[in-house]
């Protein structure tokens, strides 16, 4: 595992996702009630872009067919057996900026 910087904290807007592609990962980053969440970007239903969706009731909602994944666990709200990967998140101060980092498995 390694902590990888994804973006600056102030690039995140409540209710919206931010897409980040880094080190072979395609990730969707969200901020909700001042807490940052990182999940895999690809919807397991048919490959929708979760970062392009919106947030509702603590869930990332896929823009294609509106499947809703819990930001904290990655589980599909209506069927918890289906899930997207979630990653540990931290923010660090670097050069006067607040960076969002995720703890990603590295080969």
Q: Nearer to ligand FES by C-beta: 9 or 82?
A: 82
Least separation in angstroms between CB 42 and ligand FES:
9
Stretch that binds ligand FES, among 7-15, 20-28, 29-37, 43-51 (CB under 6 A): 43-51
Instruction: Using alpha carbons, list the distances in angstroms from residue 78 to 38, 61, 102.
Output: 20, 12, 26
- Residue with structure tokens 């901020």? 31
Which parts of 47-86 interact with ligand FES (CB under 6 A)? 47-48, 62, 64-65, 67
Contacts of 27 (CB under 8 A, 6+ apart): 6, 19, 20, 21, 38, 39, 40, 41, 51, 87, 102
Residues at the contact surface with ligand FES, assessed by CB under 6 A: 43, 45-48, 62, 64-65, 67
């Amino acid at each position: 595992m390694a902590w990888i910087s994804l973006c600056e904290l102030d690039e995140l807007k409540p209710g919206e996702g931010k897409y980040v592609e880094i080190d072979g990962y395609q990730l969707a980053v969200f901020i909700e009630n001042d807490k940052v969440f990182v999940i895999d970007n690809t919807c397991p239903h048919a490959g929708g872009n979760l970062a392009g969706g919106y947030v509702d009731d603590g869930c990332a909602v896929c823009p294609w067919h509106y499947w809703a994944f819990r930001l904290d666990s990655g589980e599909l709200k209506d069927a918890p057996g289906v899930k997207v990967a979630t990653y540990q998140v931290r923010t660090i101060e670097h050069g006067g900026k607040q960076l969002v980092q995720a703890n990603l498995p590295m080969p």
